[in-house]
Amino acid sequence: MSDPYDRMLAALDAGTLDPAAFSHRDHVGVTVAALKQDDFYDALARIACGLQRLAGNAGVPEKFNATVTFAFVSLIAQRMEDGGGSVEDFLEGNPDLLSGNPLAGLYPEGQADTPLAKRVPVLPGVQG
């Protein structure tokens, strides 16, 4: 396991990842690594459970957002359709996922930040 994202994913799984050293780029890279190792649903479960645990370990469980996690994992999986290349290749080829908010155009203002959206993935524009 020489890839740094594979190592971070293993630490995320184990609950030993340092939240202070886990950047947004790392979030995306670890998600790519999970999707390379597992099918979509297993990767989604690994990432969601790991991030939820990470937020809890950092003392900010309210920062976990099921909607954003589901949407990002889905978007990354869509972009990985060909499955080729390294994690770094994916990151370099998808700079929009590393800056700004690629989900902004999908969800009406504030919908992805509701208490419901933090607990369960909500669909864009659909009211609970």
Per-residue pLDDT of 50-104, as tens digits, reads: 999 999 999 999 999 999 999 999 999 999 987 678 999 999 999 999 987 888 8
Q: What is the pLDDT of residue 82?
A: 74
State the DSSP code for 59.
T
Which structural domain, as residue segments, surrounds residue 36?
Answer: 4-119
Could you tell me if residue 124 is inside a domain?
no
Query: How far apart, in whole angstroms, are the C-alpha atoms of residue 22 and residue 104?
Result: 22
The secondary structure of residue 25, as a DSSP letter, is H
Name the domain count of the chain: 1
Q: Report the percent of the chain where pLDDT is more than 70.
A: 97
Where do we find the tokens 């390379």? 36
Q: Is residue 77 part of a domain?
A: yes
pLDDT tens digit string along 2-42?
599 999 999 999 999 999 999 999 999 999 999 999 999 99
Give dist(CA 113, CA 51) in Å, integer: 16
